């Protein structure tokens, strides 16, 4: 008989990843269930909930979300069309591999897009948003699991980018975070306190001064420094 992972039966010879802790689906909403599933999985990938070697089974994810398999399968098919996952016969949906060259090319584009979002956010920031950024950044220093601090890191950055108030720009940035979210698991949590938190403090200080050039430079430094750590773990 096959074993079980997270209460989900597994066939012999077909290893299956544990289901990431995706947000719950609310069937009472006007938004179709399939669209909710798509949004929840996509956001989970951006937040770093899905590691780079994960295999997403529509049946396992459906059981986790307490849904039938069809809307989950439809959502995963849509994510496949977006290039987020790759469907393989009889083996679920895999996250595509990214080479060092591909990853650095993504970083080059992210630096431009996210730096622009940071600049545009400056005139819209309030003292409350700055305080929220400080709180989120401080919380990261105490996280030991990658998925925990990656979720905080996601929230930190998107708190800034949302304040740019440019929906089209935000959508472009999200598309790149879907590609890089899983890869960030290669950035070990042990380096958070001395590296990421310090770089985030520089971003916050520049935002608070209203120095748009410094904001853009600090975001670029943060993205590129993290990328150099991650790239050590990627294939050519």
Give the C-alpha separation, 15 to 75, whole Å: 22
Q: Say what the pLDDT of residue 190 is.
A: 62
Q: Say what the pLDDT of residue 116 is.
A: 98
Q: Say what the pLDDT of residue 48 is.
A: 85
Kind of pairing between the strands at 8-9 and 86-87 = unpaired
Q: Say what the pLDDT of residue 75 is.
A: 96
Q: How long a stretch of residues is the chain? A: 236
Quick one: angle between helices 167-180 and 33-47, nearest 10? Answer: 70
pLDDT surpassing 60 at residue 207: yes
Q: Which domains are delineated in the chain?
A: 4-94 (1.10.10.10), 100-231 (1.20.120.530)
Cβ 67 vs Cβ 25: under 8 Å: yes
Mind listing the pLDDT tens digit for each residue in 99-154? 999 999 999 999 999 999 999 999 999 999 999 999 999 988 888 777 788 888 99
pLDDT band at 1; cut points 50, 70, 90 = very low
Q: Say what the pLDDT of residue 157 is.
A: 97
Cβ 85 vs Cβ 54: under 8 Å: no
Using DSSP's 3-state secondary structure scheme, residue 13 falls into coil
Cβ of 171: how many Cβ atoms within 10 Å? 9
Mind listing the pLDDT tens digit for each residue in 115-125? 999 999 999 99
Q: Say what the pLDDT of residue 9 is.
A: 40
Better-scored residue on pLDDT, 3 or 32: 32
Give the C-alpha separation, 230 to 128, whole Å: 32
Mind listing the pLDDT tens digit for each residue in 15-50? 456 888 899 999 899 999 999 999 999 999 998 888
Provide mean pLDDT across the span 70-90: 92
What are phi and psi for residue 25, nearest 5 degrees? -100, 140
**How is the chain split among helix, strand and coil, in percent rounded to 5?**
65, 5, 30
**Nearest CA among 130, 128, 111 for reference residue 210:** 130
Chain-centre distance for alpha carbon 155 = 9
**Nearest CA among 162, 132, 163, 136 for reference residue 149:** 136
Using DSSP's 3-state secondary structure scheme, residue 35 falls into helix
Query: b/e for 87-105, b at 16 or more Cβ within 10 A?
Result: eeeeebbbbeebeeeebbe
pLDDT surpassing 70 at residue 6: no
Using DSSP's 3-state secondary structure scheme, residue 226 falls into helix
Q: Say what the pLDDT of residue 134 is.
A: 97
Q: Say what the pLDDT of residue 2 is.
A: 40
Question: pTM of the full predicted structure?
Answer: 0.85
């Amino acid at each position: 008989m096959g074993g079980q992972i997270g209460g989900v039966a597994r066939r012999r010879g077909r290893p299956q990843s544990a289901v990431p802790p995706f947000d719950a689906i609310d069937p009472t909403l006007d938004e179709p269930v399939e669209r909710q599933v798509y949004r929840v999985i996509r956001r989970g990938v951006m937040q770093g909930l899905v590691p780079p070697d994960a295999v997403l089974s529509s049946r396992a994810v459906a059981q986790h979300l307490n849904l039938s398999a069809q809307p989950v399968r439809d959502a995963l098919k849509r994510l496949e069309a977006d290039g987020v996952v790759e469907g393989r016969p009889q083996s679920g949906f895999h996250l595509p591999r990214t080479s060092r060259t591909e990853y650095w090319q993504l970083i080059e584009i992210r630096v431009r897009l996210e730096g622009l979002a940071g600049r545009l956010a400056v005139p819209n920031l309030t003292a409350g948003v700055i305080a929220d950024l400080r709180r989120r950044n401080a919380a990261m220093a105490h996280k030991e699991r990658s998925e925990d601090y990656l979720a905080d890191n996601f929230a930190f950055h998107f708190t800034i980018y949302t304040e740019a108030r440019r929906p089209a720009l935000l959508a472009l940035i999200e598309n790149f975070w879907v590609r890089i979210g899983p890869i960030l698991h290669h950035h070990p949590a042990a380096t958070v306190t001395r590296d990421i938190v310090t770089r985030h403090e520089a971003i916050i200080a520049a935002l608070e001064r209203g120095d748009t050039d410094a904001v853009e430079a600090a975001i670029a430094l943060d993205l590129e420094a993290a990328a150099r750590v991650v790239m050590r773990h990627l294939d050519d």
